Structure 1
Amino acid sequence: MIFQNKKFRFRVCAVTLACILISFSPTNDPLERIITGFKKYITELPQEKVYLHLDRAHYAAGETIWLKAYLTAGAYHEPSLLSNTIYVELINSTGEIIQQHQLFSPDGFAAGQLELDESLPSGNYLVRSYTNWMRNADEAYFFHKDVKIWNTQDPVNNVLSDETIALQFFPEGGNLVNGIMSKVGFKAIGTNGLGKVVSGKVYEEDKEVATFESNQFGMGVFGLVPKVGMQYTALLDNSDEIVQLPKALDSGIILSVTNSPSTADILLKVQASENSNLQTVYLLAQTRGIVCASSQADLSKRVSFTRISKKEFPSGIAQITVLDENGNPLAERLVFIDHQDQVTITTSMSKTVFAPRELVQLDIEAKDKEGNPVVANLSLTVFDGGQVSLDENKETIHSYLLLSSELKGHIESPGYYFNPNNKNREKDLDILMLTQGWRKFTITEALSEKVLDPAYSVEKGLTIRGVLTDEKKNQPIESGTVSYLSLFPFPESKTTITNSRGEFEIHDLIFFDSTKVILQGKTNNGRPATILTDKSYNSPSLLQQLSNAFTQPIALEQNFLSKAFERQAIEKAYSFENSELELEGIEIRGIRIDEPTQISSSYGAGTVQMQVSGKPALENLLHPLDLLRGRVAGVQITGYGASAKILIQGVNSIDSSMEPMLMVDDIQVRLESLVTIPVHEIEGYRVWKGADTAIFGARGTNGVIGFYTRKNLGTDKKPIQQDATLTMKGYQVEEEFYSPKYPADTSSLPKPDRRATLFWAPNIQTDSSGKTSVSFYNSDAENVIYGEIEGISKGGKPGTSRFSYIIEK
């Protein structure tokens, strides 16, 4: 048996307590103290959540993941005005962060992209997102999204896992008590972390006393009356592994909850054992920190019944806790309240069958539960159903905000519980609350009288940190000044004072992409000083591990890969840079002017030469290896910085290493030292491979990469002591999704269109009438086309919608 004892962190928010309190107030009533504790958390630790809408679920290396970020704050999920910085990371199956970006979100919304390197190996990847403020809570409450990335040049080997099953048991309320009937939830999990369909029997010593059978997600429930002195075990059918059930208490209480979707109330039953000394207990019900109901229960007759109207709760997970007179939790149960008050999004088109490359106009309308128009911020993806499947039970902004973001651990197919086509969804949702939602919570933190002191602050902008030093004495400068100046996107200047260790931080800066900023350091008597900036970032630890199991693609994924390979071939065939034209002989007359090469090397021209100076797209990159990433045929670079892996194809290693030789100005250097070379100081680079490496002897066996700095900068590599111009990585600049515009007659356009994502629109806003419209052109696909819309209203109500149409000639 795997028995989990999870610590609960109250998720509360800065809102008015709108729910009705049904409370009693005797002298020793602990409820007032508890409610005061909640109000304290509401005021001092408002909770943020971030959700990412991606254009699809799987990609090919070299493609782009398009994403829209929704950042909410508070129990009502209103667009957040707290944090302006959203972190987005791409993580591989070994837990390595291979990309990290910062999105600017002044109003709770942001759009961005993850450009996948062509050399990424096939595998499972994780997209993670959070704010700095969210780091005060558990990493489990960050946004996590699994994606598959395929490399058309990378063979996929099936990684098969064994069928070991972990069986867990969760008594309702928290504990079994001898002599009292209890509901016991169970969950069976396979080695891949997904639920396993199981059935089995429960034994009292050698006597069968119960049977159980799971739903499709490996979860279920059965009843049990434990007896004093008896041991209870479970045995799965077709298995000989015996699993112990949790040991029953001799004295205690049981909390049983009935939450029928057909009734307007929640029925609570609190039952105490015969030998219990409890005469009075207290009931507290809250949703996301909003205390919705509280009452006192009389247990003088060992049993008490209470009804709570569901109208007292907002939609989402409600936590019902039984406490003693000192406020200590005795039992707890989670239930889900669904008022179905989400935003309703409808779409309409002029027809359901379109021609290839035909213009499609989509009309969108958003309404609330009462049918009134809603101003909503939305994002839209349209994709080829012949390459990407439609998963009706996947995570959406609706399921994430109300369900997944409130529970720890992976929830399999969370959209299943909100899909009206699933007839058992409400029953299965209550089982989910009983199993994955079960835990022994503590409200110690909510009741703490200490002043809350969060370790991580709200970020209104970016931060530059570093140390101010006296270069001659090699000592930090205390009480020195560091001034910041940036001219893009608007003129901004700030000044800060260093601490006793010479350290400084300049906060709340707004700049984008690779921006040049000016830093000036001075001692307290005005003399110039040296600034050493710290560009490192302490990324949160990763708790959620990805499965290493990666199998051969199914039929639809194989079709996607085929089209991805075809798209790459089409781009190369129709790219001017990669095309070769044979021209008839021509005669050129004039004076030949030989420009002296700006890049000189003792080792010849090399196999590949690339000029960097004068090309802003290259000069503004952050690391010298970024100059080669995806730009040089046969050179594969995975990972970033000092952890990067470099492979030059077509070479043979004579030892265990496959790393090429690296040079700066013809001097061999180590990989980790490249970070000290600013890209804007590089004139160009060369790559030697194949027979061209012979000049290096054994050192060049794995290929050679040489970087050459600008000669007019001289050889002085010391930090600039006065005005230091630095290239800093700012907020990511949102790129525009390419959507072609076709004329009425497309017969003169020979380039095939095999797009997997036909259209991506991350910034759709409905007007005061709740309406808007978008238009886009079809591809050449003759398939079913699917569209998905997600978004949120100003009041924090999520909404989702799906539509489809057909492309035929």
Structure 2
Amino acid sequence: MRILIKPKKTKYRLGTLFGFIALVLISFSPATDPLDRIISSFEKYLAESPQEKVYIHIDRDDYAAGETIWLKAYLTAGPYHEASLLSNTIYVELINSSGEVIQQHQLFSPEGFAAGQVELDESLPSGNYLVRSYTNWMRNADAAYFFHKQIKIWNTQDPINNVLSDEAIALQFFPEGGNLVNGIMSKVGFKAIGKDGLGKLVKGKVLEDEQEVATFESNKLGMGVFALMPKEGKKYTALLENSDEIVPLPKALDSGIILSVTNSPTTADILVKVQASENSNLQTVYLLAQTRGIVCASSQADLSKNVSFIRIPKKEFPSGIAQITVLDETGNPLAERLVFIDHQDQMTITASMNKSIYRPREQVQVDIEVKDKEGKPMEANLSMTIFDGGQVAVDVNKETIQSNLLLSSELKGHIESPGYYFNPSNQNREKDLDILMLTQGWRKFTIKQALSENALDPIYRVERGLSIRGVLTDSKNNQPLEEGTVSYLSLFPIAESKTATSNSTGEFEIHDLIFFDSTKVILQGNSRNRKSATIFIDRSYHSPSLAYHIPSTPIRPGDLEQSFITKATERTAIEKAFDFDNSELALEGVEVKGKRIDAPSPISSTYGAGTVQMQVAGNIGLENQQHPLDLVKGRVSGVQITGTGPSSKILIQGVGSINSSMEPLILLNDFPIKLESLQTLPVHEIQNYTVWKGPDTAIFGARGANGVIGFYTKKEIGGAIAASEKDERPPVIGYQIAKEFYSPKYPLQELNQAKPDRRATLLWAPNIQSDSLGKASVSFFNSDAENVIYGEIEGISSGGKPGILRFSYTIEK
């Protein structure tokens, strides 16, 4: 019979209309139902521990040592993959085949997107490398769920390797639901992997003791499935064709349940079968179906006759991996099965050009349009790469933002060719995707994790900015200073100041700072007793452990990769031949005599000379003051300052306040700052200051109604860290500044027409935003290549729908 149960709704769209075909359905009350507790725990877990994901789009997969990896980071949060507003810091690492982090960069992502680059050293040896990305918040989960992208780097000076790797094969078996049970027919998934981590095509047979009871054959990705009903007292092994190695199958349980799921792409429902062994003593079990932590279906089933069938409508699930779990009355998981739901509701990207064949160095314009499943325009954030198909291989089955968000980021372990399962041209992709669901191990969201008391007590914090850590010590005896203060000041991109207090061991931390690599920041330490203090910056960073296998076997280039290496060698030779900036001319020694003329003290270039100016640099009496306001106190007519330090009160006569506050406007190098921020500005860094009062404040409008005091620092502001003044390394590393991808323009008057153009990447455009009509345009110039040119666009809509597009055109003379 079929029974409909009223859905249970929450803010995460929990619940479903749940159809049962069962022998008997037992009703239950909230007092005895473990599902209520589990569902509420999932809700709380999602609300208080939202999951972040990072996806990195790069311009290609093969690079030569000395080139640049151009990248775009997409950071999402929550089950619907909306742009993350949690973390502002994205870590990007380059890791070699030995597992060593050889580069790390920090990208600033205030709205879930960031562009950047990894500049490869010319000395890097040829080999497999890994681009890894994560946020600090993501470290609370398993590092296996970080973003991982394997690339190849070729050093044109390295000899070409022609040694084939060993083809030893590891064979693994995965019973559906988790276990084999004696006397019950089960599906068994298997996976054959070579030393390179890739699936291998295999055939074989299953033996019951010495008798053949089943055969198996994998798909091209090394995976497959067969049926088996184990018997008590029997031993089951597998034997590969053309191999003498015997591989044991998992031992069957004498008592338990089997979970079997049928997910046909042609039906609207998922059919679930739960079967218990005769001696299991299980009368009632509970089912929970969820996707990315959203509970989509839940109920109980009666097993008094050892079998129950359940039908779940697919429409209750969002696209992605659905996890179906069977639990006992205590909430303990008994069996689990994954299925993939594909509503094909991702955004659609189209690209149009005015022709399909272009000339070398001709300008190309690509018009982009983004729509949803119903054909309505969508606003989306996109990135696009254009590359030479004569140098760079086109892998239509590689990882994309779509396969990553919906598949790879939810599973542990390496997934070979994840784009294969989303490519409509692959006829067996849905069948093979279901086999993948059988063989990929336990998942990101687990019942135990959601119910754990420690689940909502994360170790790693959400980073809204960067952190500076260190130790404050007495400059004379190098002993830690307790309850000292460390003040931070930065002027770019915004004027920002913060203060931290050192603990009993002199340690301090300042969090959530926004500054970039080129920014000079000021750190100043003070003790309670006005002792001279030294700041020691802790530059160490403990990178997360690597949960990804990078093949260390030597790589051998194919025909296209060999073409890429040849062109890379040509590019290096061309750059040297046309690099006129490196021309040098040796001159004999020249002696220059004269008198140095010191440049005049700078004044405000924005607001004029003001009412009063005072030079500070070079005036010993002023440079030895403790606080910037001490420079003004008693020295400027009409300016009254009472109190000391951050508790100072300022009144500038000759102005009329239109506010309830009498505090004047404070400027630092023409940037407005708070009065308390002056505490972080060392007096010895100040070049001069200016006071505006009376009619001179008119240039500031209402902001200057209470008068204005502006402080101006010396040209070389920053580096005020006593322990680091002689250290060549920067005291702190800021966010990476994204460089602009160089794409030449070829007007008729171009002077450098003779320089050959052998670019592998013709264009990298990381910041494309479609408008309210879903449209955007990008233009660039071709190289000299007479090849097929490929374009790839990836991105995500404002509602969290990913999308991809591949297109091509031809360059001919």
The answer to whether the 8 A contact 1:122-1:156 is kept is no
C-alpha displacement of 1:274: 1.1
Q: Which one-letter code corresponds to 1:239 in the other structure?
A: S
- Does structure 1 residue 463 correspond to structure 2 residue 467? yes
Equivalent residue for 2:12?
Answer: 17
The answer to whether the 8 A contact 1:334-1:437 is kept is no
**Secondary structure at the residue paired with 2:239?**
strand
The residue correspondences of 1:198-213 to structure 2 (distance < 5 A) are 198-213=202-217
Task: Measure, in 2, the Cα distance between the counterparts of 1:132 and 1:744.
Answer: 50
Identity of aligned residues (%): 75
Q: Which one-letter code corresponds to 2:501 in the other structure?
A: I
C-alpha displacement of 1:205: 1.2
Equivalent residue for 2:7?
Answer: none
Equivalent residue for 1:219?
Answer: 223
Task: Measure, in 2, the Cα distance between the counterparts of 1:191 and 1:725.
Answer: 41
Equivalent residue for 2:807?
Answer: 803
C-alpha displacement of 1:59: 0.5
The answer to whether the 8 A contact 2:382-2:766 is kept is yes
Q: Which one-letter code corresponds to 1:461 in the other structure?
A: G
CA deviations over 1:527-584 (Å, ceiling 9, x no partner): 33111111111111112131112233111111111111111111111111334799xx
Equivalent residue for 2:576?
Answer: 572
Residue in structure 2 matching 1:556, options 560, 568, 575: 560
Task: Measure, in 2, the Cα distance between the counterparts of 1:354 and 1:450.
Answer: 60
Q: Which one-letter code corresponds to 1:237 in the other structure?
A: E
Q: Please, what TM-score do these two structures have when normalized by structure 1?
A: 0.80
C-alpha displacement of 1:595: 8.5
- Does structure 1 residue 241 correspond to structure 2 residue 228? no
* Structure 2 spans left out of the alignment, 5+ residues: 1-9, 19-26, 595-720
Equivalent residue for 1:752?
Answer: 756
C-alpha displacement of 1:125: 0.8
* Structure 1 spans left out of the alignment, 5+ residues: 1-14, 583-587, 597-716
The answer to whether the 8 A contact 2:471-2:536 is kept is yes
Q: Which one-letter code corresponds to 2:13 in the other structure?
A: A
**Secondary structure at the residue paired with 1:173?**
helix
Residue in structure 2 matching 1:593, options 577, 591, 594: 591
**Secondary structure at the residue paired with 2:449?**
helix
- Does structure 1 residue 475 correspond to structure 2 residue 473? no
Q: Which one-letter code corresponds to 1:42 in the other structure?
A: L
The answer to whether the 8 A contact 2:116-2:738 is kept is yes
- Does structure 1 residue 537 correspond to structure 2 residue 535? no
The answer to whether the 8 A contact 1:159-1:548 is kept is no
The answer to whether the 8 A contact 1:346-1:801 is kept is yes
C-alpha displacement of 1:594: 5.6
The answer to whether the 8 A contact 1:519-1:726 is kept is no
The residue correspondences of 1:615-626 to structure 2 (distance < 5 A) are none
The residue correspondences of 1:690-729 to structure 2 (distance < 5 A) are 719=723, 727-729=731-733
Count of residues in Structure 1 that have an aligned counterpart in Structure 2: 669
Change beyond 3 A, Cα 1:749–1:325 = same
Residue in structure 2 matching 1:101, options 99, 105, 112: 105
CA deviations over 1:456-501 (Å, ceiling 9, x no partner): 0000011111011113233211111111111222221111111111
C-alpha displacement of 1:188: 0.7
Residue in structure 1 matching 2:375, options 364, 371, 378: 371
The answer to whether the 8 A contact 1:515-1:728 is kept is no
CA deviations over 1:55-94 (Å, ceiling 9, x no partner): 0000011110000000000000000000000000111111
Quote the RMSD (CA, aligned, Å): 2.4
Task: Measure, in 2, the Cα distance between the counterparts of 1:225 and 1:83.
Answer: 50
The answer to whether the 8 A contact 2:319-2:406 is kept is yes
CA deviations over 1:150-190 (Å, ceiling 9, x no partner): 11112233453222111111110111111111000111111
Q: Please, what TM-score do these two structures have when normalized by structure 2?
A: 0.80
Task: Measure, in 1, the Cα distance between the counterparts of 2:751 and 2:476.
Answer: 72
The answer to whether the 8 A contact 2:412-2:444 is kept is no
The residue correspondences of 1:229-308 to structure 2 (distance < 5 A) are 229-308=233-312
Task: Measure, in 1, the Cα distance between the counterparts of 2:255 and 2:522.
Answer: 69
C-alpha displacement of 1:203: 1.1
- Does structure 1 residue 360 correspond to structure 2 residue 360? no
- Does structure 1 residue 167 correspond to structure 2 residue 162? no
The residue correspondences of 1:112-511 to structure 2 (distance < 5 A) are 112-437=116-441, 443-449=447-453, 452-511=456-515
CA deviations over 1:249-273 (Å, ceiling 9, x no partner): 1111100000000000000000111
C-alpha displacement of 1:332: 0.5
Q: Which one-letter code corresponds to 1:18 in the other structure?
A: R
Change beyond 3 A, Cα 1:180–1:595 = farther
C-alpha displacement of 1:718: 6.5
The residue correspondences of 1:674-693 to structure 2 (distance < 5 A) are none
C-alpha displacement of 1:439: 7.0
Between structure 1 and structure 2, the one with the greater Rg is 2
C-alpha displacement of 1:592: 5.2
The answer to whether the 8 A contact 2:64-2:565 is kept is yes
Task: Measure, in 2, the Cα distance between the counterparts of 1:725 and 1:214.
Answer: 54
**Secondary structure at the residue paired with 2:437?**
helix
The answer to whether the 8 A contact 1:517-1:727 is kept is no
C-alpha displacement of 1:513: 1.1
Q: Which one-letter code corresponds to 1:400 in the other structure?
A: N
The answer to whether the 8 A contact 1:119-1:151 is kept is yes
Moved more, 423-432 or 30-39: 30-39
Task: Measure, in 1, the Cα distance between the counterparts of 2:286 and 2:724.
Answer: 67
The answer to whether the 8 A contact 1:333-1:438 is kept is no
Task: Measure, in 1, the Cα distance between the counterparts of 2:135 and 2:93.
Answer: 12
CA deviations over 1:10-47 (Å, ceiling 9, x no partner): xxxxx931143458642311100101111121122110
CA deviations over 1:209-240 (Å, ceiling 9, x no partner): 10100000111000011111111111111111
Task: Measure, in 2, the Cα distance between the counterparts of 1:525 and 1:494.
Answer: 21
Change beyond 3 A, Cα 1:293–1:326 = same
